Amino acid sequence: MVNDGAPADADVVAQVLGGDGEAFGILIRRYEPGLLRFATRMLGNPDAAADAVAESLVRAYRHLAQCRDASRLRSWLYRITGNRCRSHLARRHTNDISLSDAPPLADGSDAWAVLERNEQVALVERALAALSAEKREAFVLKHVEGMSYEEMAAVTGARIPTLKMRVHRAREALLAALEEVVR
Amino acid sequence: MSPIDPRLQEALDGERDPGELPVDLGEAYARLISAVQLLAATPAASVAVRVMAEIRQPRVQVQTAGLMRRMVRWLARPRAVTLRLRPAWTLALAVGLAAILLMPGPGHTPGAAEGVAKFVGHFPGARSVEVVGSFNDWSRGTLHLSDDDHDGVWRGGAVLPAGQHEYMFVVDGDRWVPDPLAGRYVDDGFGAGQQNSLLIVRPVAAQP
């Protein structure tokens, strides 16, 4: 990802590998928001998500030389973070996550909008938390992080048809949960 | 949970204009998009300071086997040697050898919470082999192996903190390979199915 006038990922990676460790801060600022959002949605707990992202970024820094294609750094960082989240979930031996962060609400125009903002947030988070980790990850990468199926495959290691199926199933489950409430 | 209309899936995949959906599907589309917008808020927290503080921490100093130690090992290895020495040189050589052999082996004596790790890898034709791992921040240039007799077997050692360490060999500067003799491996955490070798260093104090 290259912002206006900002150095390309590959250039920053080369800078870091050349000994300028402080340049890694550029990559943190660039990708931290998305990684935190992704981890928060996966783990349902902002503190656990912050831990997972911090550990992932430190790990990425220490293994930066193993990032064979710096132009795909974003996928690589999401992959590390996704793995860290899965490890975290595995340690908890449960898929029952407790979502607690309350993001702002978009306006709605139907019965859905009648619900209070916090109720909407809680409802969506509960529905997301009820999904399996694989479906939750696929849905969040596709719709919240806006990735293509190709990039999702690079992040998760799953095949594209598998990912499409997970996203479709996640949509069905979420829609069913949302309609249950507003019916 | 029942399957949702394929037209809705297509619209959500960006393959169909959502404006063309029937009213009921359009409402479902709007509901899912609203849910996505709820989830898309970026947490206000930041881990940047914490991460930068962590990566600025000094690395564990790896005490590599020094030149003196390699010389001693080379001298200790059995080999056929024919020497034709003048008497005056014989005495000088004996004094020199005694000085080398009486020197303490490792340049760094392991502390109570440290142990000696030895690395051996078979890499015929390699120009260089080094070890990177959790003990040196996965950084190259701190722990080189040597193949003094050019038989393709690269050896080296280091004094490391006792405990578990992940590591890999770096061959010719750019080829990362796990140690085939490690015995234990752990997933490298990058999702490509690759594994790091695992080394358990026992403290010198615990050794018999």
Distance in angstroms (rounded) separating the CA atoms of residues B193 and A157:
9
How large is the ipTM? 0.80
- Residue ranges with strand state E in A17-137: none
Q: Does A138 lie at the interface with B, CB-CB under 8 angstroms?
A: no
Closest CA to A14 of A3, A6, A24, A25: A24
- B137 Cβ partners below 8 Å, 6+ apart? A62, B59, B60
SS3 call for A111: helix
Residue B201 scores a pLDDT above 60: yes
Q: pLDDT digits over A118-174, tens only?
A: 777 788 888 999 999 999 999 999 999 999 999 999 999 899 999 999 999 999 999
Residues from chain A that touch B28, judged by Cβ atoms under 8 A, are 175, 179
Residue A176: which region, alpha, beta or left (left: phi > 0; alpha: psi -120 to 50)? alpha
Distance in angstroms (rounded) separating the CA atoms of residues B106 and B70:
10
pTM: 0.62
Contact A156 B191 (CB under 8 A): yes
Summary count for chain A: helices (H), strands (E)? 9, 0
Q: What is the rounded average pLDDT of the residues B165-191?
A: 79
Distance in angstroms (rounded) separating the CA atoms of residues A140 and B76:
62
SS3 call for A148: coil
- The CA distance from B148 to the nearest CA of chain A, in Å, is 28
User: Closest to B55 (Cβ–Cβ): which among A21, A82, A173?
Assistant: A21
- A156 Cβ partners below 8 Å, 6+ apart? A79, A82, A137, A138, A141, A163, B191
SS3 call for B181: coil
- The CA distance from B106 to the nearest CA of chain A, in Å, is 28
Q: pLDDT digits over A21-75, tens only?
A: 999 999 999 999 999 999 999 998 889 999 999 999 998 998 888 787 878 899 9
Q: pLDDT digits over A70-126, tens only?
A: 788 999 999 999 988 988 887 665 444 554 443 443 444 455 565 677 777 788 888
Contact B36 A144 (CB under 8 A): yes
pLDDT score recorded for residue A108 = 45
pLDDT score recorded for residue B73 = 57
Could you count the other beta carbons within 10 Å of the beta carbon of residue A120?
A: 23
Mutate to test the interface with A, among B8, B27, B34 (most CBs of A within 10 A): B34
Q: pLDDT digits over B100-123, tens only?
A: 444 444 446 677 778 888 899 999
C-alpha distances out from residue A43 to A33, A37, B133, B199, Å: 15, 10, 29, 31
A9-17 helix and A24-43 helix, angle to the nearest 10 degrees? 110
User: Closest to B43 (Cβ–Cβ): which among A40, A62, A121?
Assistant: A40
